[in-house]
Chains A and B, each alone.
Chain A
């Protein structure tokens, strides 16, 4: 498959993509242990089906719905507004440390400063050695203008579907660039996928902050 092939996919026709890092991340979860996962995208059926076999709590904080607002919040003065969005959106109830944060392709759409701020705000909820998984457009200089619908199927592959036909510039973040804007995280794995996206896995350590 050529790089950027996903961009040629017609709307409503998801591309099935082998994503080894994601598959290992979810497949490696111990069925006997309780896991807490934060999903920063919309709730999706495939992920819930996949996690149903585990003892799992999934927190859904759909930041794609706040995207246009978040993009504007780049100055230091905007920190309170960002905190307000998070406070309003983060699940209430008994806090449990997050072991996995799933970003899908959200980080392609957030300015790096906003990403850094959000992760700083989430930091106190992270478990030691928490993992953050992200997908970024890498091979192509273009990407859909809004986040794609991405979710796993039961085989552990990812179904990637564009939600808008229009394309915009892709920031093509390198793993190093992203790592430097994820406070406390270090790059652990990266993988170039069949559609030209990169799959990144970061690991949190409070000692890195």
Chain B
């Protein structure tokens, strides 16, 4: 059976609301989300197991394959983003890959590729690139196959705040 079945995925996913401007913070309760605030600039790889809202600048790779990633209206992302669900309000250049769904809002400006079994785009959004809605696409299979995850090295223990939930590997963070 296809793991990215469009017909089984009719439930709407509620987008997490972007947080008010704040520095990066992390909530530790179940179902929490991390926020990269508008003054934060991250270069590197972000991995973890909680939802993420990006209002700052991120360059590199974002891998939250079981969670949602929201690029807020102030967010500027130049990265490849892998997540369960992705919402875009801000500016994005790179590849967006979601196991479930990608939602592009009208304020979004995107250049790159979008890969997800379900994609929605509000009129007014600026997009140039490729939208791959094929649930059997190679990109989806590679990104979310269990085999691929097994081959990936285990991420080191988180050190940022001791929550034990998410890892942030920033190869040089600076305030924007």
Residues of A within 8 A of B (CB): 34, 42-45, 48-49, 51-62, 89, 91, 93, 149, 151
Contacts and interface: CB of A to CB of B under 8 A. Distances in A.
B130 A45 contact: no
Among A59, A60, A89, residue most surrounded by chain B Cβ atoms (within 10 Å): A60
Given A48-B119, A48-B120, A93-B113, A43 B134 contact: no
Contacts of A57: 130-134, 137
14 contacts: A45-B123, A48-B131, A55-B133, A55-B136, A56-B133, A57-B131, A58-B131, A58-B133, A60-B129, A91-B128, A91-B129, A91-B130, A93-B113, A149-B123
Contacts, number: 67
Given A56-B134, A58-B133, 7 more contacts: A42-B127, A51-B133, A57-B134, A60-B127, A60-B128, A89-B128, A91-B113
Question: From DSSP, what is the main secondary structure of chain A's interface residues?
Answer: mixed
Contacts of B131: 43, 48, 57-60
A134 B72 CA distance: 36
B121 A59 contact: no
B169 to A, nearest CB: 26
B6 interface: yes
Nearest to A55: B134
B121 A43 contact: yes
B104 to A, nearest CB: 8
Contact of A55 (B123, B126, B135): B135
A43 B125 contact: yes
B118 interface: yes
Q: Is the interface of B mostly helix, strand, loop or mixed?
A: strand
A151 B121 CA distance: 13
The 5 closest A-B pairs by CB, nearest first: A91-B130, A55-B134, A43-B127, A58-B131, A57-B132
B27 interface: no
Interface string B92-110: 0000000000001000000
B134 A34 contact: yes
B122 interface: yes
A52 B126 CA distance: 19
A41 to B, nearest CB: 11
A54 B121 contact: no
A98 B56 CA distance: 37
A91 B133 CA distance: 15
Contacts of A54: 133
B85 to A, nearest CB: 15
Contacts of A61: 128
A135 to B, nearest CB: 18
Nearest to A39: B131
A43 B131 CA distance: 10
A45 B121 contact: yes
A53 B125 CA distance: 21
A137 to B, nearest CB: 22
Given A34-B134, A56-B134, A44 B128 contact: no
A89 B131 CA distance: 14
B78 to A, nearest CB: 15
Interface in B1-30: 6
Nearest to B108: A43
A61 B128 CA distance: 6
Contacts of A93: 113, 130
A45 B120 contact: yes
B129 A44 contact: no
B125 to A, nearest CB: 6
A54 B131 CA distance: 12
B6 to A, nearest CB: 7
